Homo-oligomer: A and B are copies of this chain.
Amino acid sequence: MPTGQRPRIVIIGAGFGGLSVVRSLRKAHVDITVIDRTNHHLFQPLLYQVATAGLSPGDIAHPIRSILRSMTNVHVVLDDVERIDNADRLVVGSHATYPYDALIIATGARHSYFGHDDWEAFAPGLKDLNDALLIRDRLLRTFEEAERFVGSDLLRELLTFVVVGGGPTGVELAGAIAEISRKTMLPDFPRLSADDIRVVLIEGADRILTSFDPRLSTRAVEQLQSLGVEVVVGGIVSNITATSVTVGQQVIPTRNVLWAAGNRASSLIGTLTAPKDRAGRVLVNDDCSLPGYTNTYVIGDAAHFEQDGRPLPGVAQVAMQQGAYVGRLLARRPSRQAPFRYKDLGSMATIGRARAIVEIGRLRLSGLLAWLMWAGLHVVQLISFRNRLRVLIEWGWYYVTFQPGARLLLRERNRRPS
């Protein structure tokens, strides 16, 4: 607990950004309070595998308190932050208020429907474990329902999966859904045939995975198509209902739409008076500090950081590097340090079993080798040996048997609105 002697640093959010701040303050003479709405740190890059029944929530999440247990200068609390009181330097939560000398806001992002919030009921997004379990339930329930409607038009509607958004998450979701639909579900549902299943990936730009080299986008499209995914580029979604998605002039009848298109900074960011971009992210200074606020920093998906005239992408790497930067800055305050600069260590996306693309500087890979790099990198990044072992077993098992490990219907009340 804050002694009042040492500077009190409050960190909101225990994602990649928040935790990297804490780690870089490991040896600093400060009192740290970490506030999160949930009790676990989530390894978001693998969240889509929970949504597609490949991994269990416990495989990619770890209690924040256990992660930080060894750090005696850290106090972890479960709370919902409602607002920041800059004048009195207080974080106001639903359970308590937390005084601070320095504040780091690392609250990440939720998905955004570009003003069509009514779409969310029909097109859930994927940001936390609850989202993933909801999507998993709908996915599994769909096949059970479909079998009851063999021969009717409803069958096609049910088994048409539309993923909106051709970024890494959308690509990974579309690939995984196409793969488990054919390889895992069909053998369990003898009355359904591969022709009944349709997976469509819709991207508004002229190509998917725009953050990658165009050649890799092409590879990704080929790999998706080899899994039976229809890729639509330049497709603007104008409407989503319980039974259809409208793309340009085309209406796709479907009961399964997933949203991977847009992000919006968390609701707490909305309460800040600082200038924001269209996605609701606050425009931060070159040291990640928040204009108009005292000793307040915003990092990760909640921040709009301009570098070389372009905002940094919303990826874990940016959040972690910003977290480390702010941590160093706080450790030896008040001395000024050079502006933050993001160093792109490369990016990867996986499309399915043994399918992925990797771009590291000039190096570009696709296919099995890329997938092995992707798998290796993600496993070592997982927190705790146990999670690494579990995920490796899951992947190995799935690689051989196509039997993902978490095909469980849990929420009986989880009915699709229609």
Contact = CB atoms under 8 A, between A and B. Distances in A.
Contacts of A408: 39-40, 57-58, 61, 63, 129
A401 to B, nearest CB: 8
A189 B40 contact: no
Q: Helix, strand, loop or mixed for chain A's interface?
A: mixed
Contacts of A69: 187-188
Interface residues of A, number: 45
Q: How many copies does the complex hold?
A: 2
A65 interface: yes
A147 B411 CA distance: 30
A345 interface: no
B63 A412 contact: no
Contacts of A409: 38-40, 78
A393 interface: yes
Contacts of A405: 58, 386, 390
A78 B187 CA distance: 16
Interface string A403-414: 101111111100
A416 interface: no
Contact of A57 (B130, B187, B386, B410): B410
B403 A393 contact: no
Contacts of A390: 390, 393, 405
Interface string A368-399: 00000000000000001010011001000100
Given A57-B410, A95-B148, A148-B96, A188 B403 contact: no
A393 to B, nearest CB: 6
Most chain B CB neighbours (cut-off 10 Å) among A58, A65, A130, A188: A58
B386 A144 contact: no
B188 A407 contact: no
A263 interface: no
A37 interface: yes
Interface in A47-82: 56-59, 61, 63, 65-66, 69, 77-78
Interface string A112-139: 0000000000000000011001000000
Contacts of A406: 56-58
Nearest to A147: B77
A140 interface: yes
Contact of A66 (B403, B411, B412): B403
- Which 4 pairs from chain A and chain B are nearest by CB? A65-B188, A58-B406, A56-B56, A78-B144
11 contacts: A38-B412, A40-B407, A40-B408, A56-B58, A65-B189, A66-B188, A66-B403, A69-B188, A77-B144, A77-B147, A390-B393
